[in-house]
Amino acid sequence: METSQEQPTPRVRITPLTGVDFAKEVARGIGVSAGMALLWGLEIIRNACFRMLDRFNVPARRKRASAFPPGQPRKRQSA
């Protein structure tokens, strides 16, 4: 038999927003919406550019890509 007791849930108090807090929340919502609209617009432009490159049959890379930079590797001292 368990001897633990149930914890009473804390009461939640909701306080109404003041005029300044309300204005801040509205401004934040407008800012977030504007940022998302900007990103959406940039994505549309990016997709249009890639579609144009595909239509002109431009290859992705002219040379083979490498993960390592050109030139001699650095000399590392062994421990």
* pLDDT tens, position by position, 3-32: 667 788 889 999 998 999 999 999 999 999
Nearest to 45 by CA among 35, 37, 57: 37
Task: Tell me what the mean pLDDT of segment 44-61 comes to.
Answer: 92
Indicate the average pLDDT of the chain: 88
Confidence of residue 37 (pLDDT cuts 50, 70, 90): very high
Kindly tell me if the per-residue pLDDT of 72 is higher than 80. Answer: yes
Read off the tokens for 23. 């204005």
Please state the pTM of the whole predicted model: 0.55
Nearest 5°: the CA angle 6, 12, 18 is 170
Read off the tokens for 29. 């919502």
